[in-house]
Amino acid sequence: MRVVVGMSGGVDSAVSALLLKEQGYDVVGVFMKNWEEQDENGVCTAESDWRDVQDVCELIGIPYYSVNFAKEYRDRVFSLFLSEYQKGRTPNPDVLCNREIKFKAFLDFAMQLGAEKMATGHFVQTDEDGHLLRGVDGNKDQSYFLYMIHRQQLMKSIFPVGGKTKQEVRALAEKYNLPVCKKKDSTGVCFIGERDFKAFLQGFLPAQPGPMVTPEGEVVGKHDGLMYYTLGQRRGLGIGGRGDGRSFFVVDKDLKKNHLIVAQGEDHPLLYSRAAMADQATLVCDPLPENTPVHLTAKFRYRQPDQGCTVTRVGENLHFVFDEPQRAVTPGQSAVIYDGDICLGGGIIDSVER
């Protein structure tokens, strides 16, 4: 069976290709170039990642290709990313990248190469029915980012490292002396990396500075543009302690007035909500009955422990009522629902109810 592996230049996808080769598959490595901009030093980081992919593929003895999806990425992912920021929301581009690029454009490309399956280095698992399951390593589980992927796509996918811990993956890379065995995991937003996020956004969206205002209406500072801030944020506000000296946190945004609402105290009531509505509902496999409350668990940001909640599907929306008040549930982020280890799907947080 031919399997095309999406290789990023990192250790997880390298070990995925290695494991499949060891298992006797006809493996082909493909590097996806999704972003063409240079970093602040004038270096295109994709070039070094591509060299790492070549070195790994030559060592384990598999053919390799590079495919450029930069146009598709800009049209299907980055344009929506900017649009969400213009609306004052905080989007998650990795979720869209998986849906539009890795499990659509890349999957189609893999099939054109004669593959029966595609593989990635995601820390997730699937079962014979096409359910999306958490990865074995709870610290690395990436099901949160794959909730928009449907059963039909998952049935064509293999996740070789999903049943392993990150430590085990590193150990395999070192055992086989893969060139990327000591390479650090990538951090930050995929196309921004470790660059300054505010400086990056300024290159694409005009900033609209305005006042920082308390819930009582007192102006306590000036913001650089609502798009640069997210709910629950404390760092970077530039406001000294007042009164009892407690730190200020972002608790809301008033887009009409261009006000950033800030309040003192990490447990301020405005930071908490009792319910939320998510739109663009996506279900991986099994439909939720409409207008019928179901008690499940959910994550409202990556790495958050599961939170108990009652979920009701209302057309293309999901309504969440939390078992316990939730802190800094942020419009634009994903609300992802689980039934035990099965990731059922989710939606994009649109509004919260306090």
Please give the positions annotated as active site: 97, 190
| Rounded alpha-carbon distances, angstroms, from residue 24 to 2, 3, 168 | 10, 10, 21
Helices (H), 39-165: 45-60, 70-73, 79-86, 93-97, 106-112, 151-154
> Could you give the CA distance from residue 215 to residue 57 in angstroms, rounded to a whole number?
57
- Strand residues in the chain grouped as ranges (E): 2-7, 26-33, 64-68, 117-119, 124-126, 132-134, 157-158, 210-213, 219-223, 248-254, 259-264, 272-283, 294-299, 307-314, 317-327, 334-339, 342-353
Contact indicator for 120, 110 with CB cutoff of 8 Å: no
> Could you give the CA distance from residue 184 to residue 43 in angstroms, rounded to a whole number?
18
DSSP secondary structure letter of residue 290: B
How close are the terminal C-alpha atoms of the chain, in Å? 53
| Rounded alpha-carbon distances, angstroms, from residue 71 to 102, 148, 162 | 14, 21, 30
Amino acid code (one letter) for 159 = F
DSSP-assigned letters across all residues of 141-200: --GGGGTT--HHHHTTEE-TTTTS-HHHHHHHHHHTT-TTTTPPPP-SSTTTTTS-HHHH
- Which two three-digit tokens encode residue 46? 């994709």
Amino acid code (one letter) for 185 = D
Rounded to whole angstroms, the maximal C-alpha distance in the chain is 68
Question: Which position has the token pair 């820390």?
Answer: 123
